[in-house]
A and B are shown apart, each in its own frame.
Chain A
């Protein structure tokens, strides 16, 4: 055992600052935890929200006009829409990566890290593009 490892106090208790600032997650871990976060957000509240929008826009022409011309123009609604788009885009890209990993594609460390970075960047780029289109 090296002396540096021996000097480290054990056991090490985790706290929030340690989780946020001390422990450096590798890229695939970020993809994984964000896949969970985005999936949870899509399950609730976004699925319910989209169903509400589908319900209102299909129910009547007035409902459609209200959503399109008023509701979706509110800044806070646009912001929510952008968060939804990020969650969907990230979940979509990360999901395709996981499907490929399941097929034993890109499972070596270097390609796995590259694809993880690509997933995060793709999610953010798609979100930025949609945000630019929405505003």
Chain B
């Protein structure tokens, strides 16, 4: 039997699925590191907090977290919107708003980190 060519679907679903999982792992690792900082027991003063986010690695890690969140949430919110919102116009509108909000989060994060 000859191999059959798959003739339906755009096939970007697998990429989105994989991206959502990779970004999930990145965010989970960052969460555990940040939780570790909180769990050291010493009270967090303004100086400690500011110095933490002045580290180059912490800024890059936080930006990586924000980008991961945006990508992860885009796949997730899109899945939810596709499942529950039937009118095409409303669905498109919500997807556009989602993209704008997520892009805004990333921009805001950059602004907060490199001020």
A residues contacting B by CB (< 8 A) are: 36, 39-40, 42-44, 47-48, 51, 54-55, 57-59, 61, 64-65, 88, 92, 95-96, 99, 102
Contact = CB atoms under 8 A, between A and B. Distances in A.
Contact of B77 (A43, A95, A102): A43
A40 B80 contact: yes
Per CB-CB distance, the 4 closest pairs between chain A and chain B, nearest first, are: A64-B46, A43-B73, A61-B46, A55-B112
Contacts, number: 51
Contact of A39 (B28, B31, B53, B76): B76
Interface of B: 21, 24-25, 28, 31, 46, 49-50, 53, 69, 73, 76-77, 80, 98, 101-102, 105, 108-109, 111-112, 115
B50 A102 contact: no
A102 B21 CA distance: 10
Main secondary structure of the interface of B (DSSP, over half): helix
B24 A99 contact: yes
B53 A58 contact: yes
A51 B80 contact: no
A96 B28 contact: yes
Contacts of A36: 76, 80
Given A95-B24, A95-B28, A96-B28, A51 B112 contact: yes
B97 to A, nearest CB: 10
Contact of B108 (A44, A55, A59): A55
